[in-house]
Structure 1
Amino acid sequence: MNLWPKRNNVGPNRNIYRFPLEALDAQDGPFIQSLFLTNVSIEPHLVICGFMRLKKLHLHRVHIIGDLPGLLLNCSSLEDLELIACSGVTDLNIPHQLDKLRHLLIRSNICVQMVEFRVPDLSHFEYQGDVIPIVLHGRSTLEEVTLKFHNALFDRDNNRALSHAITGIPSISTAKVLNVHTQMMEDRPVWSSQVHKLTRSACMFLNLRHLTCRITIFTRGSNNHARLLLAHYLDSAPRLETLQLHMSYVVAGGSHCWHGEQASFHMYRLDRLHEWVPFRGG
């Protein structure tokens, strides 16, 4: 279901249709298995009981007013949950277990300051947004995790995103595949403030087999700090088999480009190393 307004530039907080979730309450029992809502507002609450068979819930640009945890409490069969560019919720803290949830995607949600889910059988998790606390309670079932941090350039500590992805979310340490996308600004040697955080990591990625890092660095000169930092991290993933390192250096205030040096990491289980390092002037 897509209720996109005809006129352009309508955000999720104004001039949008309020979708009546209570209209889906069937008198003869729940029947909805998939629900896709786009560009509407909803007012979820605990007494809505028409979603006991719901397996897939996608909310894109939805303004949420009310009790989202209460709605999810009634989604006992939910396997796939996507929240993209939604507003109205500051803490995505779901206090009860979503026993059957396998896929969780949270992307570019407005004003969200915390994510906490109880998902014992989650296999795929993707988050895109600001650097915030993320906690996933559950057993060791994670197959793949993707983290895309933005707005890092405007933070006071604008180089903390990679460190947060690696050491700040212990609940993803059971993942077999980890993809990290981030940007950083180099007003000073970027990585000097980060190495100590990685060398004292509180968790080991014992199941990690494949790691992909895509990092864009806004800088004033060539350096290899990023590779040195990543080398410190690799000790936390003793079973890593494939590392893909994609690094883009953007020259601030200049028009010249340069080529970086190739890096190699020697680990017991590391079978393949792929590195792609483009450089471009700004």
Structure 2
Amino acid sequence: MGLMALNRRMSTQQEQQRNHVRIEADNGWNASSLSKRNSPACQQDHSHGGKKARYLGPDLPEDIWCHIHSLLPMKDAARTACVSHSFLCSWRSHPNLTLTNETMCPKTNLKTVGPNVITDHNNKIGRVLMNHSGAGVKTFRLEYFVPCDAESYHCLDNWLQIAVTPMIEELDLVVWPKEATFSSQKRKEAAMFNFPCTLLSDMCRDSIWNLRLVNCALHPSFQLGFRSLKRLDLHNVHITGDELGSLLSSSFALEWLKLVYCDDIVRLEIPCLLQRFRFLEVFACSGLEVIENKAPNISRFWFTGKEVQIALGESLKVKNLKLDHSCSISYAINTLPSSVPNLEKLTINSGREVVNAPMAPIKFLHLKVLSINFFGSYFHRDYDYLSFVSFFDASPSLETFRLYVGRQSTYDSFEGDSSSLRRITERCHGKLKSVKITGFCPQKSMLELTCHILENAVSLRHLTLDASPVNYRCFGNISRGKCFPMETTYIREAHKSILAVRTYIEGRVPSKVKFNVLEPCSRCHAL
């Protein structure tokens, strides 16, 4: 029987039993009040008002019904527990508990409401967990909103004691503090929940494979020794580099590590014993100075933040790399070809460039996809986009090029004769097939870069020029909402860019190239 048919049958049986059994549930699905009527043996029969009520489902073994119930989403599982005593029993050991704003109060944004709503939200979570035996929990996701009058995290400690069992495989804990902590200084000063490390060590060191902590402190005073941990995600977690290193050194199955706003880490070292380690992402860890990877099989490295010392070790297997810091273009050209020689995909995000892209001393022999994203308005008005040809020269295998230019400060629009545009001769970018420039503007060097691609990319098949400095478009589809807002000045600049494309670019496009020019959305950005 399919799950949808099962739910429909349950609804019919609930209607039939309405005169016999009165079900009281909080918000239409909380099964806490039913626990008083549930017999220890989870019998199908019970009396109410001198009458008998019986669950009329197919005669299947109890373990099969429990398995069916475990496959339902948590809210549906709770609803069916209100109908069936058999399901009420399995609800008490449901393996997947997702107690978040979305599942508990989907119509309320708890980050913006008063303390009474948050207290009610936490009380609901408490009732669910108190009616759960704790047995069999494999996935536990919890969003805890700290009440304004709370001076401790006593409730949160108790809930974790219930849910974190020797069977748990995934733990995702988000603690929302009383006040938002955006700056690094405020994050350091904020009182945080100190996650009980002994709970992890005693209960789930052999079972847990996915651990995500947000807005917590993690200070292990002993080696935790996660034997099955594959993914570790720490977001605004107070942990030092030595503490993290101790944790990593005993997590031999680790494959994936993400660190976001972990400002206490000064030196990050990935041990060589992590043979399965593949992916490292570091985002805006303000105290970080050194990243040293010794794991031999890392293949993806994403970094966002201030420029730090990066040593990727034996990085022959690194194929996907993302850099996001000021002047990252020059850094990438001068450093990466020798340190990651087998790189296939490179993404560069830069908020400031003070010099043009230099010539590459060594080639990216295997680079196939290059994305360069300029964010902010801190670029010199005379930045030379034609200098990106050095990337093309250094990348004989390049197939895809993406350039995104955000809203710029003032620049000089080119209005002269096309014969005055610079040309770099004797180039052949033989494998370049697809090019897209978002935020295209009639700056002379950008026109020169586009013309250079058309003249030297002999395998080019797709060229897209988007005059809007935004990534999101509705394309006139009302169901997708509206485009990202643009000021009238930028809309006018986009129309000037379209005119420049028609004047200097369109006539140079070979017939074999699919040429696409994206104008500002007529529905959202009409003048």
TM range (shorter): 0.7 to 0.9
2:378 equivalent in structure 1: 218
Greater fraction helix: 2
- Per chain length, whose mean CA-contact separation is higher, i.e. which structure has more relative contact order (CA < 8 Å, sep 6+)? 1
**Distance change >3 Å, CA 113–CA 266, structure 1 → 2:** same
1:208 equivalent in structure 2: 367
Aligned mates of 1:26, 1:117 — CA distance in 2: 30
**Distance change >3 Å, CA 17–CA 236, structure 1 → 2:** same
Aligned mates of 1:84, 1:278 — CA distance in 2: 32
**Distance change >3 Å, CA 220–CA 126, structure 1 → 2:** closer
User: C-alpha displacement at 1:262, in angstroms?
Assistant: 11
**Distance change >3 Å, CA 226–CA 73, structure 1 → 2:** same
1:165 pairs with one of 321, 332, 338: 332
Ranges in structure 1 where 5+ consecutive residues have no aligned partner: 153-159
1:57 pairs with one of 227, 232, 238: 232
User: C-alpha displacement at 1:62, in angstroms?
Assistant: 0.3
- TM-score, normalised on structure 2? 0.44
**Distance change >3 Å, CA 180–CA 27, structure 1 → 2:** closer
User: C-alpha displacement at 1:42, in angstroms?
Assistant: 1.0
2:288 equivalent in structure 1: 112
Q: How many residues align?
A: 258
User: C-alpha displacement at 1:165, in angstroms?
Assistant: 2.2
| Aligned residues of 2:379 and 2:409 also touching (Cα < 8 A) | yes
Greater fraction strand: 1
Aligned mates of 2:380, 2:347 — CA distance in 1: 27
Of all paired residues, the percent bearing the same amino acid is 22
1:181 equivalent in structure 2: 349
| Aligned residues of 2:255 and 2:278 also touching (Cα < 8 A) | yes
Aligned mates of 1:128, 1:29 — CA distance in 2: 31
User: C-alpha displacement at 1:139, in angstroms?
Assistant: 4.8
Opposite residue 205 of structure 1, the aligned amino acid is: F
Opposite residue 378 of structure 2, the aligned amino acid is: F
Aligned mates of 2:209, 2:342 — CA distance in 1: 30
Deviations, residues 259-280 of structure 1 (Å, cap 9, x unaligned): 7989997412222332233458
Deviations, residues 115-158 of structure 1 (Å, cap 9, x unaligned): 11123222222111111221212353233211111xx3xxxxxx
Opposite residue 174 of structure 1, the aligned amino acid is: N
User: C-alpha displacement at 1:219, in angstroms?
Assistant: 4.6
Residue 220 of structure 2 is aligned to residue 44 of structure 1: yes
| Aligned residues of 1:127 and 1:147 also touching (Cα < 8 A) | yes
Residue 386 of structure 2 is aligned to residue 227 of structure 1: yes
User: C-alpha displacement at 1:239, in angstroms?
Assistant: 1.1
Over the residues paired in the alignment, what is the CA RMSD in angstroms? 3.0
- TM-score, normalised on structure 1? 0.79
1:85 pairs with one of 257, 261, 265: 261
Aligned mates of 2:280, 2:379 — CA distance in 1: 34
Opposite residue 47 of structure 1, the aligned amino acid is: Q
Secondary structure in 1 matching 2:208? coil
**Distance change >3 Å, CA 18–CA 129, structure 1 → 2:** same
Q: Following TM superposition, where does structure 1 have runs of at least 4 consecutive aligned residues deviating by more than 6 angstroms?
A: 259-265
1:239 equivalent in structure 2: 397
Matches within 5 A, 1:67-78: 67-78=243-254
Deviations, residues 197-222 of structure 1 (Å, cap 9, x unaligned): x34x2x4311111111112463564x
